[in-house]
Amino acid sequence: MTRTLRLLYVLTFFGILVILGLWSLVSFGSFSKTEQMTVLNGKFTHALEGHYDDEFPIKRLGTNLWAAVDYKVFKEGRPGVVLGRDQWLYSDEEFDPIAHGEQVEADNLALIKGVATRLKEHNIKLVMAVIPAKARVYPEHIGEVKPAALHADTYQRLHSELQRDGIAAPDLLGTLEQGKQQGQVFLRTDTHWTPMGADLVAKQLGSFIASNTPLNATPVQYTTTAAPAQPYKGDLTNFLPLDPLFSNLLPKPDDLSQHTTQAADNGSGGGDMFGNSDVPVALIGTSYSANPHWNFVGALQQSLNSDVVNYAEDGHGPILPMLKYLQSDGFKNAPPQVVIWEFPERYLPAKSDLSSFDPNWIAELKDVKKNQNLAVGQND
């Protein structure tokens, strides 16, 4: 190697280092310091190092490049997503086998029955809104990966158990299967339903409650408006870390129209219309109910002509929010006439972290002997 060529290599190497160094400095522009971060307590340095590490260009390049290879060559994403056909994405929770799933399912069924018993003791009617899996509603877009045997009939098993024990649960699978003939009821790139899917389910629940458990409250009229559709990147695209270098490979964003529901009389959305001592309906559930993008609460209010108090939580599944509700002041001081429990079917065999609750209280809820007469009691 000549001296000139060696010098050229050295200069090229240092040039690359300088370019990468300058590129990485750009990341400091997005760093924000909080009052808790000081040099003395080390929090500032730790946060700065973490931010730099996350934004380091080599790391981003490697992450994007490997994700692109996985996506285009092996037709895979990161754990959390299953790639379907026609740019459809599915949550792997609807596909993967679950260790000890049958035992977990039995425990969860016992908790569901215990919750129904506890609500009945307070003269509250429970209506289960079992949300069918996206893969069940749209099986035609599933690719090579098929759901594990455990998921084959989860929806039907849960409905059979609820029917056997007299717990109200209208069939929402049929509603969504029929509804998808008129429009999209689940988002293509997201775990969740569309506002249309949420509205169809709300109307079915409203009709069911009006026929079986009429509300003893003054009707309130609601109106819903829809904003123009905007591009929406679903949560499942987070498992395809292709931004920013290969963002053109990502599935096309969904079109999402934000719906807004308000009370027709004063635009308050129901609010405290009934006061703290008279709550017609409480909604417990997951991000299907908690996330305002789908407007499920508003759709329920309009279909029921009633205020709906929302206790749903994002990211905790359906069981933990319900257990927290049973120990809340809202349940103790303002019991509703009806509780709607939004329960995605994929959570039936999924284990929940119950460590924050008294084990004796959980055991009491799951007491088979206490709940064995539930079927007779619920049908009284």
Could you give the residue numbers annotated as active site?
190, 192, 287
- Judged by DSSP in three states, 348 sits in coil
Using CA atoms, how far apart are residues 81 and 242, in angstroms rounded to an integer? 14
Question: Using CA atoms in the order 106, 109, 115, 117, what is the torsion angle rounded to 10 degrees?
Answer: -90
Task: Find out whether the peptide bond into 170 is cis, omega within 30 degrees of 0.
Answer: no
Exposed/middle/buried for residue 133 (C-beta within 10 Å: 0-12, 13-18, 19+): buried
* Helix extents (H) in the chain: 3-25, 43-55, 57-72, 101-121, 134-137, 154-164, 172-179, 195-212, 287-290, 296-304, 319-326, 329-333, 359-365, 368-371, 374-378
Q: Which residues of 65-91 are buried (b: 16+ CB within 10 A; e: fewer)?
A: eebbebbeeeebbeeebbbbeeebbbb
